[in-house]
Protein backbone atom coordinates (compact mmCIF):
# COMPACT_ATOMS: atom_id res chain seq x y z
CA UNK A 1 0.00 0.00 0.00
CA UNK A 2 2.79 2.45 0.95
CA UNK A 3 4.77 1.59 -2.17
CA UNK A 4 1.84 2.47 -4.48
CA UNK A 5 1.32 5.77 -2.70
CA UNK A 6 5.06 6.65 -3.05
CA UNK A 7 4.93 5.87 -6.75
CA UNK A 8 1.93 8.20 -7.17
CA UNK A 9 3.52 11.08 -5.27
CA UNK A 10 6.76 11.17 -7.29
CA UNK A 11 5.11 11.80 -10.70
CA UNK A 12 2.94 14.51 -9.14
CA UNK A 13 6.01 16.38 -7.83
CA UNK A 14 7.81 16.02 -11.16
CA UNK A 15 4.77 17.40 -12.98
CA UNK A 16 4.61 20.42 -10.73
CA UNK A 17 8.31 21.13 -11.33
CA UNK A 18 7.79 20.98 -15.08
CA UNK A 19 4.78 23.31 -14.84
CA UNK A 20 6.73 25.78 -12.66
CA UNK A 21 9.66 25.75 -15.10
CA UNK A 22 7.34 26.31 -18.07
CA UNK A 23 5.56 29.13 -16.25
CA UNK A 24 8.87 30.75 -15.33
CA UNK A 25 10.07 30.56 -18.94
CA UNK A 26 6.82 32.00 -20.29
CA UNK A 27 7.00 34.80 -17.68
CA UNK A 28 10.51 35.75 -18.79
CA UNK A 29 9.35 35.68 -22.39
CA UNK A 30 6.40 37.96 -21.57
CA UNK A 31 8.62 40.42 -19.64
CA UNK A 32 11.08 40.53 -22.55
CA UNK A 33 8.24 41.20 -24.99
CA UNK A 34 6.94 44.04 -22.80
CA UNK A 35 10.40 45.61 -22.54
CA UNK A 36 10.83 45.43 -26.31
CA UNK A 37 7.46 47.09 -26.87
CA UNK A 38 8.35 49.86 -24.42
CA UNK A 39 11.68 50.37 -26.19
CA UNK A 40 9.98 50.53 -29.58
CA UNK A 41 7.19 52.92 -28.68
CA UNK A 42 9.08 55.25 -26.37
CA UNK A 43 12.51 55.30 -28.02
CA UNK A 44 12.32 54.36 -31.67
CA UNK A 45 8.81 55.62 -32.42
CA UNK A 46 8.69 58.77 -30.30
CA UNK A 47 12.30 60.00 -30.19
CA UNK A 48 13.23 59.07 -33.74
CA UNK A 49 9.98 60.48 -35.10
CA UNK A 50 10.45 63.66 -33.06
CA UNK A 51 13.92 64.14 -34.50
CA UNK A 52 12.65 63.57 -38.01
CA UNK A 53 9.68 65.91 -37.54
CA UNK A 54 11.47 68.85 -35.92
CA UNK A 55 14.66 69.10 -37.96
CA UNK A 56 15.43 68.97 -41.64
CA UNK A 57 18.87 67.27 -41.83
CA UNK A 58 19.42 68.43 -45.42
CA UNK A 59 18.97 72.06 -44.46
CA UNK A 60 21.18 71.66 -41.40
CA UNK A 61 23.95 70.24 -43.56
CA UNK A 62 23.58 73.04 -46.07
CA UNK A 63 23.90 75.56 -43.25
CA UNK A 64 26.82 73.70 -41.67
CA UNK A 65 24.84 73.51 -38.39
CA UNK A 66 25.08 69.79 -37.61
CA UNK A 67 25.70 70.50 -33.94
CA UNK A 68 22.18 71.85 -33.55
CA UNK A 69 20.74 68.35 -34.05
CA UNK A 70 21.52 67.54 -30.42
CA UNK A 71 19.78 70.73 -29.28
CA UNK A 72 16.55 70.44 -31.23
CA UNK A 73 14.44 70.66 -28.07
CA UNK A 74 15.99 74.04 -27.29
CA UNK A 75 15.12 75.52 -30.66
CA UNK A 76 11.72 73.84 -30.63
CA UNK A 77 10.78 76.19 -27.78
CA UNK A 78 10.95 79.08 -30.19
CA UNK A 79 8.67 77.30 -32.66
CA UNK A 80 6.07 76.83 -29.94
CA UNK A 81 6.16 80.51 -29.00
CA UNK A 82 3.44 82.79 -30.30
CA UNK A 83 5.04 84.79 -33.11
CA UNK A 84 4.51 88.52 -32.81
CA UNK A 85 3.16 89.91 -36.05
CA UNK A 86 4.15 93.44 -36.94
CA UNK A 87 1.08 95.72 -36.98
CA UNK A 88 0.57 97.14 -40.45
CA UNK A 89 0.38 100.82 -39.32
CA UNK A 90 3.96 100.53 -38.05
CA UNK A 91 5.30 99.44 -41.41
CA UNK A 92 5.63 103.08 -42.45
CA UNK A 93 6.61 104.36 -39.01
CA UNK A 94 10.25 105.42 -38.44
CA UNK A 95 12.33 102.49 -37.28
CA UNK A 96 15.26 104.25 -35.65
CA UNK A 97 14.50 106.30 -32.56
CA UNK A 98 14.23 109.97 -33.43
CA UNK A 99 16.61 112.37 -31.62
CA UNK A 100 15.29 114.92 -29.19
CA UNK A 101 14.41 118.29 -30.78
CA UNK A 102 17.43 120.59 -30.80
CA UNK A 103 17.39 124.24 -29.73
CA UNK A 104 19.61 125.09 -32.70
CA UNK A 105 18.29 127.64 -35.14
CA UNK A 106 18.96 125.30 -38.04
CA UNK A 107 15.76 123.48 -38.98
CA UNK A 108 15.94 119.74 -38.25
CA UNK A 109 16.27 117.33 -41.14
CA UNK A 110 13.09 115.58 -42.26
CA UNK A 111 12.44 112.29 -40.48
CA UNK A 112 12.76 110.25 -43.69
CA UNK A 113 16.19 111.79 -44.37
CA UNK A 114 17.42 111.00 -40.87
CA UNK A 115 16.19 107.42 -41.18
CA UNK A 116 18.01 106.92 -44.50
CA UNK A 117 21.21 108.39 -43.11
CA UNK A 118 21.15 106.18 -40.02
CA UNK A 119 20.45 103.08 -42.10
CA UNK A 120 23.22 104.12 -44.49
CA UNK A 121 25.70 104.38 -41.62
CA UNK A 122 24.82 100.87 -40.48
CA UNK A 123 25.18 99.49 -44.03
CA UNK A 124 28.58 101.17 -44.44
CA UNK A 125 29.92 98.88 -41.71
CA UNK A 126 28.71 95.74 -43.52
CA UNK A 127 30.95 93.34 -45.45
CA UNK A 128 30.27 90.36 -47.65
CA UNK A 129 32.59 87.53 -46.60
CA UNK A 130 33.81 84.95 -49.09
CA UNK A 131 35.95 82.04 -47.86
CA UNK A 132 37.55 79.62 -50.31
CA UNK A 133 39.28 76.37 -49.38
CA UNK A 134 38.84 72.61 -49.65
CA UNK A 135 36.28 70.37 -48.04
CA UNK A 136 36.99 67.09 -46.24
CA UNK A 137 37.24 65.31 -49.62
CA UNK A 138 39.89 67.76 -50.84
CA UNK A 139 37.57 69.41 -53.36
CA UNK A 140 37.46 73.22 -53.83
CA UNK A 141 34.71 74.72 -51.73
CA UNK A 142 33.41 78.25 -51.10
CA UNK A 143 31.23 79.65 -48.33
CA UNK A 144 29.71 83.11 -48.20
CA UNK A 145 28.04 85.14 -45.52
CA UNK A 146 27.81 88.55 -43.93
CA UNK A 147 29.83 90.36 -41.31
CA UNK A 148 30.32 93.86 -39.93
CA UNK A 149 33.06 96.09 -38.58
CA UNK A 150 33.33 96.47 -34.80
CA UNK A 151 36.36 98.76 -35.12
CA UNK A 152 38.40 100.16 -38.01
CA UNK A 153 40.11 96.86 -38.95
CA UNK A 154 38.16 94.13 -37.12
CA UNK A 155 35.08 92.24 -38.35
CA UNK A 156 32.63 89.99 -36.48
CA UNK A 157 30.86 87.12 -38.25
CA UNK A 158 29.75 83.49 -37.76
CA UNK A 159 32.43 80.85 -37.35
CA UNK A 160 30.70 78.56 -39.81
CA UNK A 161 31.17 81.14 -42.57
CA UNK A 162 34.94 80.72 -42.47
CA UNK A 163 35.78 77.34 -40.91
CA UNK A 164 36.04 73.72 -42.10
CA UNK A 165 37.76 74.72 -45.32
CA UNK A 166 41.20 73.26 -44.62
CA UNK A 167 44.50 74.88 -43.65
CA UNK A 168 44.89 76.86 -46.89
CA UNK A 169 41.63 78.79 -46.62
CA UNK A 170 41.51 82.20 -48.28
CA UNK A 171 39.12 84.79 -46.82
CA UNK A 172 38.13 88.14 -48.31
CA UNK A 173 35.77 90.82 -47.01
CA UNK A 174 34.02 92.92 -49.65
CA UNK A 175 32.91 96.39 -48.53
CA UNK A 176 30.60 98.28 -50.90
CA UNK A 177 31.09 101.59 -49.11
CA UNK A 178 34.88 101.60 -49.68
CA UNK A 179 34.56 99.52 -52.87
CA UNK A 180 37.39 97.33 -51.63
CA UNK A 181 38.08 93.62 -51.46
CA UNK A 182 40.08 93.12 -48.28
CA UNK A 183 42.12 90.05 -47.40
CA UNK A 184 41.04 88.82 -43.97
CA UNK A 185 42.59 86.60 -41.30
CA UNK A 186 40.81 84.79 -38.46
CA UNK A 187 42.23 86.01 -35.13
CA UNK A 188 39.65 84.44 -32.78
CA UNK A 189 36.84 81.88 -33.12
CA UNK A 190 34.70 79.62 -31.00
CA UNK A 191 35.55 75.89 -31.18
CA UNK A 192 33.66 73.76 -33.75
CA UNK A 193 31.90 71.73 -31.05
CA UNK A 194 30.46 74.88 -29.47
CA UNK A 195 27.04 76.35 -30.21
CA UNK A 196 28.57 79.81 -29.69
CA UNK A 197 29.10 80.50 -33.38
CA UNK A 198 31.49 83.49 -33.58
CA UNK A 199 34.61 84.44 -35.51
CA UNK A 200 36.68 87.64 -35.50
CA UNK A 201 38.53 88.67 -38.68
CA UNK A 202 41.36 91.18 -39.03
CA UNK A 203 41.78 93.25 -42.21
CA UNK A 204 44.36 95.85 -43.22
CA UNK A 205 42.46 99.12 -43.61
CA UNK A 206 43.48 102.74 -43.13
CA UNK A 207 42.00 105.22 -40.67
CA UNK A 208 39.32 106.22 -43.17
CA UNK A 209 37.37 103.04 -42.49
CA UNK A 210 33.67 102.66 -41.73
CA UNK A 211 32.59 103.31 -38.16
CA UNK A 212 32.20 100.04 -36.28
CA UNK A 213 28.80 99.00 -34.97
CA UNK A 214 28.09 98.79 -31.25
CA UNK A 215 27.47 95.27 -29.89
CA UNK A 216 25.22 95.35 -26.85
CA UNK A 217 22.77 93.44 -24.70
CA UNK A 218 19.13 94.04 -25.57
CA UNK A 219 15.92 92.80 -27.09
CA UNK A 220 12.62 91.71 -25.61
CA UNK A 221 9.61 89.93 -27.03
CA UNK A 222 7.63 92.32 -29.22
CA UNK A 223 10.54 94.70 -29.96
CA UNK A 224 10.97 95.81 -33.55
CA UNK A 225 14.28 94.71 -35.11
CA UNK A 226 16.13 95.13 -38.38
CA UNK A 227 18.20 92.28 -39.88
CA UNK A 228 20.94 93.12 -42.36
CA UNK A 229 22.85 90.87 -44.73
CA UNK A 230 23.56 90.14 -48.36
CA UNK A 231 21.04 88.55 -50.75
CA UNK A 232 21.69 85.17 -52.31
CA UNK A 233 22.83 85.01 -55.91
CA UNK A 234 25.90 84.93 -58.13
CA UNK A 235 28.93 87.01 -57.16
CA UNK A 236 30.53 88.55 -60.22
CA UNK A 237 34.16 89.65 -60.07
CA UNK A 238 34.63 93.37 -59.65
CA UNK A 239 31.03 93.92 -58.51
CA UNK A 240 30.35 95.30 -55.03
CA UNK A 241 26.91 94.08 -53.91
CA UNK A 242 24.82 96.24 -51.62
CA UNK A 243 23.58 94.79 -48.32
CA UNK A 244 19.86 94.25 -47.83
CA UNK A 245 17.71 94.85 -44.77
CA UNK A 246 14.42 93.43 -43.52
CA UNK A 247 12.09 94.49 -40.72
CA UNK A 248 10.52 92.22 -38.11
CA UNK A 249 9.80 91.77 -34.41
CA UNK A 250 11.21 89.54 -31.68
CA UNK A 251 9.00 86.53 -30.97
CA UNK A 252 11.09 84.92 -28.20
CA UNK A 253 14.29 85.44 -26.23
CA UNK A 254 15.78 82.12 -25.09
CA UNK A 255 18.49 82.51 -22.46
CA UNK A 256 18.45 79.16 -20.64
CA UNK A 257 21.01 77.46 -22.89
CA UNK A 258 24.78 77.82 -23.56
CA UNK A 259 24.03 79.74 -26.76
CA UNK A 260 21.35 82.39 -26.01
CA UNK A 261 19.08 82.95 -29.00
CA UNK A 262 16.68 85.64 -30.21
CA UNK A 263 13.88 84.24 -32.38
CA UNK A 264 12.29 86.84 -34.65
CA UNK A 265 9.96 87.23 -37.64
CA UNK A 266 12.42 88.98 -39.95
CA UNK A 267 12.77 86.99 -43.18
CA UNK A 268 16.37 86.31 -44.14
CA UNK A 269 18.31 84.38 -46.76
CA UNK A 270 21.23 82.06 -45.99
CA UNK A 271 23.74 84.78 -46.82
CA UNK A 272 22.38 86.91 -43.96
CA UNK A 273 24.23 84.58 -41.57
CA UNK A 274 26.89 86.48 -39.67
CA UNK A 275 25.15 89.81 -40.24
CA UNK A 276 23.78 92.05 -37.49
CA UNK A 277 20.34 92.14 -35.90
CA UNK A 278 19.79 95.83 -35.09
CA UNK A 279 17.54 97.46 -32.51
CA UNK A 280 15.93 100.88 -32.83
CA UNK A 281 18.97 102.54 -31.28
CA UNK A 282 21.20 101.21 -34.06
CA UNK A 283 22.97 98.69 -31.79
CA UNK A 284 23.78 95.08 -32.66
CA UNK A 285 21.73 92.91 -30.30
CA UNK A 286 22.21 89.65 -32.21
CA UNK A 287 24.23 87.82 -34.86
CA UNK A 288 22.01 86.45 -37.63
CA UNK A 289 21.45 82.76 -38.28
CA UNK A 290 18.87 80.76 -40.25
CA UNK A 291 17.43 77.42 -39.17
CA UNK A 292 14.81 75.41 -41.04
CA UNK A 293 12.44 73.08 -39.21
CA UNK A 294 9.71 70.68 -40.17
CA UNK A 295 6.61 70.59 -38.01
CA UNK A 296 4.50 67.54 -37.24
CA UNK A 297 3.30 67.57 -40.82
CA UNK A 298 6.41 66.97 -42.95
CA UNK A 299 4.65 68.53 -45.93
CA UNK A 300 4.58 71.94 -44.26
CA UNK A 301 8.14 73.18 -43.66
CA UNK A 302 8.51 76.15 -41.35
CA UNK A 303 11.41 78.54 -41.26
CA UNK A 304 12.66 79.81 -37.93
CA UNK A 305 14.74 82.98 -38.04
CA UNK A 306 17.10 83.35 -35.13
CA UNK A 307 20.09 85.40 -34.01
CA UNK A 308 22.70 84.57 -31.40
CA UNK A 309 22.23 87.01 -28.53
CA UNK A 310 24.32 90.19 -28.50
CA UNK A 311 25.15 89.81 -24.82
CA UNK A 312 26.87 86.49 -25.49
CA UNK A 313 28.65 87.88 -28.58
CA UNK A 314 29.89 90.78 -26.46
CA UNK A 315 31.15 88.34 -23.82
CA UNK A 316 33.06 86.42 -26.53
CA UNK A 317 34.72 89.62 -27.75
CA UNK A 318 35.70 90.57 -24.23
CA UNK A 319 37.07 87.08 -23.54
CA UNK A 320 39.37 87.47 -26.55
CA UNK A 321 40.25 91.08 -25.68
CA UNK A 322 38.91 92.43 -28.96
CA UNK A 323 38.74 96.20 -28.99
CA UNK A 324 35.25 97.57 -29.58
CA UNK A 325 34.17 100.78 -31.25
CA UNK A 326 33.07 103.44 -28.78
Q: What is the CATH number of the domain that holds 184?
A: 2.40.10.10
Domain shared by 118 and 138, yes or no? no
Q: How far is CA 5 from CA 19, 110, 203, 316, 324, in A?
A: 22, 117, 104, 90, 101
Residues 254 and 257: their CA atoms lie apart, in Å, by 7
Please give the pLDDT value at position 247: 93
Conformational region of residue 282, where left means phi above 0, alpha means psi within -120 to 50, and beta covers everything else: left
Please give the pLDDT value at position 14: 74
Please give the pLDDT value at position 58: 42
pLDDT in tens, 14-52: 777 777 777 777 878 888 787 777 666 555 444 444 333
Rounded mean pLDDT of 241-266?
88
For residue 30, tell me if it sits in a domain: no
Domain shared by 217 and 315, yes or no? yes
Check pLDDT > 70 for residue 140.
Answer: yes
For the chain, what percent of residues have pLDDT higher than 90? 33
Question: Are the C-beta atoms of 201 and 157 separated by less than 8 Å?
Answer: yes
* Residue with more model confidence, 298 or 198: 198
pLDDT in tens, 278-303: 999 999 999 998 665 545 555 555 66
> pLDDT-derived band of residue 308, with 50, 70 and 90 as boundaries?
very high
Question: Are the C-beta atoms of 111 and 224 separated by less than 8 Å?
Answer: no
Please give the pLDDT value at position 57: 39
Domain shared by 167 and 223, yes or no? no
Write out the residue range of the structural domain in which residue 249 sits: 57-95+112-122+213-319
* Residue with more model confidence, 249 or 45: 249
Domain shared by 160 and 179, yes or no? yes
Domain boundary among the residues 167, 183, 203 is at: 203
Check pLDDT > 80 for residue 240.
Answer: yes
Domain shared by 194 and 313, yes or no? no
| CB atoms closer than 10 angstroms to residue 252 | 19
Domain shared by 263 and 160, yes or no? no
pTM for the predicted model, two decimal places: 0.71
Check pLDDT > 50 for residue 195.
Answer: yes
Element (H, E) at 17: helix 2-39
Please give the pLDDT value at position 183: 93
Domain count, the chain: 2
* Residue with more model confidence, 147 or 256: 147
Residues 277 and 98: their CA atoms lie apart, in Å, by 19
For residue 2, tell me if it sits in a domain: no
Amino acid sequence: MSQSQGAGVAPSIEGKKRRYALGFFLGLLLIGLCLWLLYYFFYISLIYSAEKSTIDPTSLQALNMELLRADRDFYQKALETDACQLPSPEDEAPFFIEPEPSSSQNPPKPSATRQRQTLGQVKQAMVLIKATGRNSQGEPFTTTGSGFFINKNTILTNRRVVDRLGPEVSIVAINSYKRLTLKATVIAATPPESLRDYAVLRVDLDANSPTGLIVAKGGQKGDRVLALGYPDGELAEGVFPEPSHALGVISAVLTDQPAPVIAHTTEMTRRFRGGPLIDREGRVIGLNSVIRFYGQDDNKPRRLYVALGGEDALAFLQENRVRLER
